Structure 1
């Protein structure tokens, strides 16, 4: 390919998987700086952010076979960099310092990419918030969403009215939606939990 600057991301990924250094250089030129700016918005440390981006692109080069042929390359790179930021934070930085920025950052990534890369991480976040619900509300919500019992079955098991079950679920949904408002990338995973009935 004569002009890599005109190549689509899909074409570049295909060439990268064949070990094409020019394709890799073009991917780097397109995405390294935007990703660096996003990472640095969260970490607020230029050297650490540069190191993280370099490590990300080194991993992309050495593990190019792991890329899907039809991957949304920008989405993949943003999610991969965000996951590296999360790991860095988990290793010693205070999570609360970065959560607001991280929430904004995660909203820039497509649902499809997140579904492929992030389902376990997102489910852990949801489960943490469910665990913080008041005891009775949590019990009702878990029976409804995690054990898939009907309102009638829950009412019979807990010896409460169906109206109480309905209200507890509605309250739980309001609480969870407000707690997870910054994580718009929860997408399909949350839709399954947050249906209204």
Structure 2
């Protein structure tokens, strides 16, 4: 695949994304992005451009409390951060790390903006439990054994132990060597 073909795909994808998100300015620093309320907290060196934000925005950013957009090489990069009250909060993506992100990961002196999400939408959790009537899929990992086959292991013994609701597990113990005289 040559560069012109790749650039055609990129241009086609950008044309498709134009209609996905709509920016609508409101009073003060508030704005709507596809009917979702946001507030502009900081606009360093006029880094905020609502149309460019709408062009680069993705639904995955709806779960973050704060979104930082920074410019480098004429490209807008977006990164989300959590408020400590958010159930998805992790310290490395907390609001306290925004300044570290700007100093360490962004170009020195680049224009940037910080946007607050006024209506955070948490993703729905999917259940991994199996439904009634369906048997769960069991995936086994195979690994190479460095021991002889179980039948040839004369130095070990296996014992069946109940672990709970209709579950069993096997415990393998080393056999104790006894002196021939103690029998």
Shared fold per TM-score greater than 0.5: no
TM (norm. structure 2) is 0.24
TM (norm. structure 1) is 0.23
**Structure with greater helix share of residues:** 1
Report the structure number with the largest CA radius of gyration.
2
